[in-house]
Amino acid sequence: MPLPWLIGAAVVGLGSALVAALKSDDKPSSTISTAEAARRAQEAATEQWRKTEQKQKKDNARTLFAEAGVVIGTSLEDALHGIVDVMSLGEPTFTATLTTQGYRLPPGDPSRAYEVGHALAEVLPMHDPVIARISEQLDFYTAVYNVHLQGSRTLYRQIMDIQAADKELVTLDQIAQQLMALQTELGTPL
């Protein structure tokens, strides 16, 4: 709300300069210099208003950026619920900062492990572009937010189920190959 205040201050300043110029009994040349002073005061007030408005916009943009980051982080945490345990490492949760070129990530913590990405890499094909993208986004999420992601029991149970199913598929494939070999040996369809 600095805009109405600055406009009011500029109007009051300009009005007082005009009143002073009209009340003055000096020569016309002093009236010109008073008008010049009023113009300069108006320009200074306008420049000050512009700087204040620009600073206010930057501050608002930074606040909105951080608030949007917190909202996105919360919705991401909700989406990961049951699969990934999200543990906050302190405040602020959203650690990226707005810059003139975009945003800047905080320096990475080399001790922070990305267990979820590693668990996904063990089970899922990382050459699949969707899986690779999810893994990159999880890494980015842990860089932008002051959080540590760890696979939940549900995730690891599902990974174990997938691995067990893979073993069963290998066994079934071996049985199918043995049956085909028997069929070839006997020369009759089974």
The pair phi, psi for residue 91, each rounded to 5°, is: -100, 150
Say yes or no: 180 and 111 in one domain: yes
Task: Please report whether residue 137 resides in a domain.
Answer: yes
Q: What is the pLDDT of residues 105-127, one digit of tens each?
A: 777 654 454 566 666 666 676 67
Amino acid at 97: T
Closest CA to 95 of 62, 61, 66, 138: 66
Say yes or no: 6 and 44 in one domain: yes
Q: Give residue 1's pLDDT.
A: 45
Q: Give residue 105's pLDDT.
A: 77
Q: Give residue 6's pLDDT.
A: 46
C-beta separation of 119 from 152 below 8 A: no
Gap between the Cα atoms of 117 and 133, Å rounded: 11
Say yes or no: 57 and 89 in one domain: no
Say yes or no: 103 and 164 in one domain: yes
Say yes or no: 89 and 158 in one domain: yes
Q: Give residue 82's pLDDT.
A: 76
Say yes or no: 172 and 96 in one domain: yes
C-beta separation of 92 from 73 below 8 A: no
Say yes or no: 43 and 119 in one domain: no
Task: Please report whether residue 164 resides in a domain.
Answer: yes
* pLDDT < 50 regions, the chain: 1, 3, 5-6, 25, 110-111, 113
Cβ neighbors of 153 (< 8 A, separation 6 or more) are none
Find the domain containing 131 and state its range: 84-186
Specify which residues 145 forms β-bridges with: 94
- Tally the domains of the chain: 2
